[in-house]
Amino acid sequence: MNHPVLKPTPALLLCSALLLSACAQPGASPGNKAGVQITKLDDRLRVEINDQLFTEYRFQDVPRPFCYPVLGPGAAPMTRNWPMQEAPAEDRDHPHHRSLWFTHGAVNGHDFWSEARDFGKIVHDGFAEIKSGRDQGVIRSKNKWVAKNGDVICTDELALRIHNRPANERVLDYEITIHASHGEVTLGDTKEGSMAIRLNETMRLKHNKENAGKPTGTIVNSEGVRDGATWGKRAAWCDYYGPVEGRILGVAIFDHPQNPRHPTWWHVRDYGLFAANPFGQHDFERLPDRNAGNLVVPAGQSVTFRYRFYFHEGDEKQAHVAARYADYIKSVPQKSK
At residue 8, what is the residue type?
P
Entry pTM: 0.89
Q: Is pLDDT of 337 > 80?
A: no
Q: pLDDT for 150-193, tens place per residue?
A: 999 999 999 999 999 999 999 999 999 999 999 999 999 999 99
At residue 123, what is the residue type?
V
Instruction: Please list the residues that pair with 309 across neighbouring strands.
Output: 172, 253
- Confidence label for 331 from pLDDT (cuts 50, 70 and 90): confident
**CA 121 to mean position of chain CA atoms:** 19
CATH code of the domain made up of 31-331: 2.70.98
For 113, residues 6+ apart whose C-beta sits below 8 A from its C-beta are: 96, 103, 104, 105, 119, 190, 192, 193
**HSE on the CB side for 283, CA within 13 Å?**
17
- List, as one string, the DSSP characters of 93-114: --TT--SEEEEES-BTTB--S-
Residue 196's nearest CA partner among 281, 113, 119 is 113
- Confidence label for 13 from pLDDT (cuts 50, 70 and 90): very low
Instruction: Please list the residues that pair with 179 across neighbouring strands.
Output: 155, 302
**HSE on the CB side for 161, CA within 13 Å?**
14
Query: Residue 87, Cβ neighbours under 10 Å: how many?
Result: 13
Q: pLDDT for 65-120, tens place per residue?
A: 999 999 999 999 999 999 999 998 899 999 999 999 999 999 999 999 999 889 99
Domain ranges in the chain? 31-331
- Confidence label for 32 from pLDDT (cuts 50, 70 and 90): low
Average model confidence (pLDDT) across the chain: 91
Which position has the higher pLDDT, 213 or 189?
A: 189
